[in-house]
Structure 1
Amino acid sequence: MSTPNGTGDDGTDLERSTVVYDLDPECGVEDVEEGKKYHATVNGVVEYGVFVDISEHVSGLVHSSNLIGSYDVGEDLIVELDAIREDGDISFVEVQVAEYETEPVGPGTRATTTDLETVAGEDVHLDGQVVQIKQTGGPTIFQVRTPNRVVPCAAFEEAGVRAYPEIELDDFVRVTGTVERRNGACQVEADELTVLTGDERLRVESEITDSDVIDAADVDPFVDWPAFEKLRGDLQAVATRLRETVLSGRPIRIRHHADGDGLCASVPLQYALEQFIEQTWEDPDAPQHLLKRLPSKAPFYELEDVTRDLNFALENKTRHGQKLPLFLMLDNGSTEEDTPAYRNLAHYEVPILVVDHHHPDPDAVSEFTDHHVNPYLYDEDYRITTGMMCVELARMIAPEITDELRHVPAVAGIADRSEGEAMDDYLDLAADVGYDTADLRDIGEALDYATYWLRYNDGREFVNDLLNVNCDDRDRHERVVDLLSERAARDVDQQLDAAMEHVTEEQLDNGARLYRIDVEQHARRFTYPAPGKTTGKIHDRKVAETGDPVITIGFGPDFAVLRSDGVRLDIPEMVAELKSEVPGGGVSGGGHLVVGSIKFVSGMREQVIEALVEKMSDAEIDEELGSSAVMPEEV
């Protein structure tokens, strides 16, 4: 290796960082520049020198006075372009370099995704990785990922016929063609696609891998909360994984619990991911195809939901050339009840990420999840709500939406009854942007009311308006929240006016008051509030009336929903014990420690509930312990 700059006695170029360009066969004279070095092949030998090709369309003479060695036809050498004369003749000088890097050059301008607008109408080449292939009624659309953006490349055959069938997903390719504008965005109309191999493939792969566009943004949390800091690193890892998933062309399906906290988690995250997709995909329709938010009525991933999700995913793979999606579970997904659905996804190697604050069963779900963020895994608890975590996660993906999210953690905390030490800080943060506690409570009630009637529909635009995220009219937001929160309060009052007369009371051995109601028989069905919400509202009234430790059970033929204040329950543990202690009971369920739901076979209702009450009688009284979240809406 030589260290000084200059030329050796044998003509060797001694520069330390020499670049030698390797032209694509289709390159023309417009792609070369005087003074640059190129790989060349001898195509003819004459008395006064050798003729060389540096592409199929660019040839010239190396005069004998500029030759260092002797060559036969077909041999390779490195040349420097000396001059392009007015008559079109090109002259070269042979050079020998001690150390160099080869850089490929395609025909036309080497386009970067930051300059597509400036080269519209020009011939370009683009190197990248194929992340999606979609056959339309006309061209085949190859979505090609470059280090910082995904560009659609349209290749034409006969109408509806797959162009370049040899090219597959995840291949590294060079696209040559013309940049054109379509539907307000740029695409490359391809003349040729070639698969890159060897050093060229490694170069492009390295450029994509080394790009910092996938890295989570380094943002300071809204509040200084030591408990949250324990989770922050893993949330950054989830943010990076989601950004990488977007750029890889894999769709993301957000499955979330359809309650206030679930919406405070999923709506900001949906907004952040849409922003990131718009920033990194040239295709204006990409957010619609890559991202969907799917509410779940149950607080776990039901087989009904996963069957529907898989069917849609497989159809999209067949019809639209999509990869199978990544599933992001929010405010659910942490328990043994989720594992049958997870096993179904595992058959198709579908990745799963979980952000949740329900009491987890990590041994049950860890084999199925790539990331699992839950405060219980860090010796914290439900007081860090999923909405609080996901607002920070959304800011790590798209920090520019920060100002629109300042009130959302407080809505999540109130909706899920968080008593975390940071709640006062979150309330202050919301007050700074014009929301007092009553406003936040009304938003939570309006969200619950809306999701009850929306059922399995995500209600995208309407829910955005209710939460005032990605909403362009705050006055409309306030009017709609007022209307729905008033209707929710009216319907709750009507429900409780009928139900409270049928609530029974008893004193447990530990001193707690136990209230029971058959919500199937003594509450209106198929209307708001649902059994879980009805039980929660009854419980709240009894806590306010008595000021004592209170447990409330709302039950139906094959389910019970549970709420507790001032009694240290562990509902997931109680459910696990009942499974073995009540043979034939078909017991399942879970939730938070002091709020949850249980299912059982209807013929064993009495045995299950009495065994449950016996366990509650043995629970420790802790009057400083409040109930956590609102009840699940469906059981």
Structure 2
Amino acid sequence: MDWITHEEDVWFDFRGSSPDQLVSGRYYKGTVDGFADFGVFVDLAPGVTGLLHRSELDRRLESLDWEPGDTVFVQVKNVRDNGNVDLSWSIRQSGDEFRGAQVHDPDGDADGETIESDDDDDGPGPVRQTPTPDHDEALNGDADADADDESDVDADGTDTTDTDAADGTDTTDTDAADGSTAASADEPTADLDRVDVDSLDDRVGETVRLEGEIVGVRQTSGPTVFELRDASGAVDCAAFVEAGVRAYPDVEVGSLVRLDGEVERRYDELQVETEALEILADDEAADVERRLADALTAEARPESATTLVDGDAVDAVAEDLVDAAETIRRAVLESRPVVVRHAATTDGYVAGAAIERAVLPLIREEHAAADAEYHYFTRRPLEESVYDMDDATNDVTRMLQDRDRHDEKLPLVLLVGTGSTVESSDGLGLLGIYGARRVVVDADVADAAVADDCEAIVNPGLAGADAADLSTGTLAATLAATVDPDVADDLSHLPAVSYWGDAPEAYVSLASEAGYDADRTRELREAIALEAYYQSYEDKRELITDLLFDDAGGLAGHISEQFRRKLDAEVDTATANVETRDEGDLTVEVLDTDAYTHRFDFPPTSLLLDELGRRRDADLIVGVGTDECYLRSAGDLDVRGVAGDAAERVDDAGITAASVRDGRIEFLSGRRDAAVDAIVAAAVERLA
């Protein structure tokens, strides 16, 4: 996401004339213009109107009590090339709920000016500043309220609060030696005992002392927000000097600190208003570091794998599952983002959703911020089952931007059902160069060499077990239950959903016990497959959650009907245009997928060929595109071997195995006919 909760601290009064003058991420005061079935139109200035889509609301559209002409506060999410303005919901809907307000006047002299509070309108309320040393003395009992009043007046009656007696310069917010903000010089002096972050829920309104590691620093348009983690959890601590000015500039991610402040609950979020902050050193820093390390090790590692159903394949990787679960739990405890990459297939979505189901509660428990689950967990589907340089470059770019802009730690990248073969080595290697942690989980094919490209790999085949009846969705659900045993019951039906063929009876029974019979698991499987195709690069978090875990209103059945209708129509068309070849004792069916499928509509080629394989008796099915083909066979087919043999037959066609998992082989389009003939011949030889 491009914004964080604390960007709400300042709202802007837009005085421009064009949408492209708006700044994405800022919060603006607007006026309700009108309603539509899909959202609310909000005027930000004369001639500049944005749409607050119903999907951005935190409530149902019809439950809004807004009327045309009402003043509202919204965030500019995006300004499109055509001038359309996408708006997001602001949890704060009154000016006095913000820390401050500024003028946004792109073409005028007023740009950046502060808007003063006015009790008669929706202007901002008072702002708490990070205290100067005088405030610390008051906290420490060195001066009472009367003394504070007197200290503001010199002997001759001159007010000296904000000026140096010698030269009249302002010293309240600036250190005389180096010009740094006074917030950087504040040190805790109050006589307070250290408390744990997990106790703050019972301490709202109290001034507390925390000790821990700074795991995040975010400079907002209002305060500087430090995320502090101790042995029990993490909490946001806001330090304010003036709007947009960095408080405590010496404090960075990784600093071990002592912080005093008042605990507040701001719109269902715990937050500490920082009053003093000190970087610890030597023995004090070592004590904090030791407490954190001991707590992290004790909390992160599960005692054992939590299996959904006993089986040799899962048993073979039990210790690997524990290692992977520890890595995931440790990332959450370290405030390290978790990025899950999976294929845009039913098996991939089931696997990714299982991990998501386990990790999100841990993030909510660990972080007080209401949006933490979106900040620390991301699920990004892949259009292919190979984690290539394009995918890795995308991830590296994002993580470096997050590191530089938000001081965010480099993520744990969890590759589920992808990344397990050498075709992904380049992508994994790029992540490794930048220090991102990598864990691969795949029940299907895997290459031992990949173990050198990641910190951990969970694959039954590499562990010497037969995993023919194990789906990646099942393996990921087992990992998820190991990460958080409390969600194991929620996951019990997922293995049965993940199988396109006949699911093992143990998983069918497990789903049935959870209330999911064969028809319901089929509907879920088909519904996920259809939704996985559309916007395949999006996680569709809420929709997938509704389908897999909260479907009480027939959503899966509705989507499943569309799946079946679209798939049946495409199978009928493909069947009518299949070219059948007799190759010795084998029957080979070849389909020109460019000519005889709707390439830009559902189903995708891979899924169509899978269905043809299930419905037809051919020994080998080949789907041929412009510069690639897919192989499907009930027999044991070595795709890399086929590609290598074919390349020897036609050495100028650029034939190479692109994805072992997908059965995909690439070639040069100019040598398509020769390449396909060579690939078919090589495959037949290996199947014979």
Give the structure-2-normalised TM-score: 0.70
* Distance in 2 (alpha carbons) for counterparts of 1:441 and 1:296: 23
Give the secondary-structure state (helix, strand or coil) at the position aligned to 1:193: strand
Structure 1 residues 286 and 576: CA distance shift in structure 2, 3 A? farther
3-state SS, counterpart of residue 583 of structure 1: coil
Of residues 195, 212, 218, the one that matches 1:111 is: 195
Quote the residue 1:571 is aligned against.
639
Q: Which residue of 2 aligns with 1:202?
A: 286
For 1:373, the aligned partner's letter is: V
Is 1:496 aligned with 2:564?
no
Q: 1:331 is matched with which residue: 401, 410, 417?
A: 417
Mapping 1:595-614, distance limit 5 Å: 596-614=663-681
Q: How far apart are 1:377 and its partner, in Å?
A: 0.7
Residue 159 of structure 1 and its aligned partner are, at CA, apart by 1.9
Tell me, in whole angstroms, the C-alpha distance in 2 between the residues paired with 1:554 and 1:178: 65
Q: How far is the alpha carbon of 1:254 from its aligned partner?
A: 1.0
* Equivalent position of 1:357 in the other structure: 443
Indicate yes or no: 2:552 matched with 1:475.
Answer: yes
Pick aligned residue for 1:368 from 438, 442, 453? 453
Pairs within 5 Å for 1:484-563: 484-509=559-584, 511-543=585-617, 550-563=619-632
Distance 1:381 1:516 in 2: 30
Q: Structure 2: any 5+ residue segments left out of the alignment?
A: 1-134, 144-187
In the superposition, relative to structure 1, how do residues 29 and 454 fare at CA in structure 2: closer, same or farther (>3 Å)? closer
1:180·1:189 contact (CA, 8 Å) conserved in 2?
Answer: yes
Q: Which 10-residue stretch deviates more, 285-294 or 606-615? A: 606-615
Q: Does 1:402 align with 2:478?
A: no
Cα deviation, residue 396, structure 1: 1.8
| C-alpha separation in 1, matches of 2:446 and 2:396 | 24
Matching residue of 1:78: none
Name the structure 2 match of 1:432: 513
Deviation at 1:537, TM superposition (A): 2.0
**Residue matched to 1:617:** 684
Q: Could you tell me whether the CA contact under 8 Å between 1:174 and 1:193 is conserved in 2?
A: yes
CA distance in 1, matches of 2:454, 2:423: 14
- SS where residue 198 of structure 2 aligns? coil
Structure with bigger gyration radius: 1
Counterparts of 1:576 and 1:323, CA distance in 2? 42
Deviation at 1:428, TM superposition (A): 0.4
- Map 1:174-253 to 2 at 5 A: 174-211=258-295, 212-216=298-302, 218=304, 220-253=306-339
The answer to whether structure 1 residue 149 and structure 2 residue 233 are counterparts is: yes
> CA 1:418 to 1:234, structure 2 compared with 1: closer, same or farther past 3 Å?
farther
Please state whether the residue corresponding to 1:111 is helix, strand or coil: coil
Taking the aligned partners of 2:438 and 2:601, their CA distance within structure 1 comes to 34
Are 1:107 and 1:124, in contact at CA under 8 Å, matched by a contact in 2?
A: no
Distance in 1 (CA, whole Å) between partners of 2:305 and 2:220 is 41
Q: Distance in 2 between matches of 1:383 and 1:394?
A: 19
Residue aligned with 2:462, SS: helix
For 1:288, the equivalent position in structure 2 comes to: 374
Partner Cα separation in structure 2 for residue 395 and residue 306 of structure 1:
28
Partner deviation per Cα, 1:584-632 (whole Å, 9 max, x = no partner): 3333335557x611122112222322222222222256xxxxxxxxxxx
Distance in 2 of aligned mates of 1:357 and 1:182? 45
Match in the other structure for 2:392: 306
**1:458 maps to what in 2?**
539
Query: Secondary structure of 1:568's match?
Result: coil
Contact 1:217/1:398 (8 A) holds in 2: no
Other structure's SS at 2:616 match: helix
Kept after mapping to 1: 8 A contact 2:306/2:482: no
SS in 1 for 2:452: coil
Deviation at 1:187, TM superposition (A): 2.1
The match for 1:342 is 428
> How far apart are the structure 2 equivalents of 1:586 and 1:362?
26
Q: Deviations over 1:403-453 (max 9, x none)?
A: 2111101111x23x376xxx1111001111222223222211111111112
Query: After superposition, what is the alpha-carbon deviation per residue over 1:435-484, rounded to whole angstroms, capped at 9, x for unaligned?
Result: 2223222211111111112322221111112222xx2xx322xx121122
Quote the Cα distance in structure 2 between the aligned partners of 1:481 and 1:502.
32
Offset at residue 274 of structure 1 (A): 0.9
Distance 1:137 1:459, change over 3 A: same
| Aligned AA (1:162) | R
Between the aligned partners of 1:107 and 1:418, the Cα distance in structure 2 is 67
Q: Which residue of 1 aligns with 2:530?
A: 449
Matched AA of 1:281: H
5+ residue gaps in structure 1? 1-25, 32-54, 58-103, 544-548, 622-635
Counterpart of 1:625?
none
C-alpha distance in 2, partners of 1:175/1:260?
47
Which residue pairs with 2:212 in the alignment? 128
Paired residues of 1:186 and 1:282 also in contact (CA < 8 A): yes
Alignment check: 8 A CA contact 1:252 1:292 kept: yes
Aligned to 2:244: 160
Q: CA deviation at 1:382?
A: 4.6
Kindly indicate whether the alpha-carbon contact (under 8 Å) linking 1:217 and 1:399 is maintained by their aligned counterparts in 2. no
Asked if 1 retains the 8 angstrom alpha-carbon contact of 2:523 and 2:560, the reply is yes
Query: 1:23: which partner in 2?
Result: none
Q: Between Structure 1 and Structure 2, how many residues are aligned?
A: 507
Does the 8 Å CA contact 1:252/1:327 hold for their aligned counterparts? yes
| Deviating 4+ runs (over 6 angstroms) | 26-31
- Cα RMSD between the aligned structures? 2.6
Equivalent position SS for 1:131: strand
SS in 1 for 2:379: strand
Deviation at 1:256, TM superposition (A): 0.6
Residue deviations 1:76-131, cap 9 Å, x none? xxxxxxxxxxxxxxxxxxxxxxxxxxxx9973232112321222222221111111
TM-score by length of 1: 0.75
Alpha-carbon distance, 1:526 to partner: 1.1
Kindly indicate whether the alpha-carbon contact (under 8 Å) linking 2:642 and 2:686 is maintained by their aligned counterparts in 1. no
Give 2:678's aligned amino acid.
A
Q: What is the alpha-carbon distance in structure 2 between the residues aligned to residue 399 and residue 217 of structure 1? A: 11
Residue identity matched to 1:498: T
CA contact (8 A) 1:382 1:418 kept: no
User: 1:583: which partner in 2?
Assistant: 651
The answer on whether the counterparts of 2:211 and 2:257 sit within 8 Å (CA) in structure 1 is yes
Distance 2:395 2:139 in 1: 51
Q: Greater shift after overlay, 105-114 or 341-350?
A: 105-114
Match of 1:270 in 2: 356
Deviation of the 1:252 alpha carbon: 1.4
Letter in 2 for 1:524: H
With over 3 angstroms needed to count, the CA separation of the structure-2 counterparts of 1:304 and 1:591, relative to structure 1, is closer
- For 2:648 and 2:217, the matched residues in 1 are separated by 51
Could you tell me whether the CA contact under 8 Å between 2:137 and 2:189 is conserved in 1?
Answer: no
What residue identity is the alignment partner of 1:555?
Answer: V
Secondary structure in structure 1 of the residue aligned to 2:453: coil
- 1:483-528 Cα deviation digits (max 9, x unpaired): 221111111221122221221222333x222111111112222111
Does the 8 Å CA contact 1:359/1:382 hold for their aligned counterparts?
A: no
Confirm or deny: 8 A CA contact 2:349 2:532 kept in the other structure. Answer: no
User: Are the aligned partners of 1:106 and 1:124 in contact in 2 as well (CA < 8 Å)?
Assistant: no
Closer/same/farther in 2, CA of residues 346 and 331 from structure 1, 3 Å limit: same
One-letter code aligned to 1:463: I
Higher relative contact order (CA 8 A, sep 6+): 1
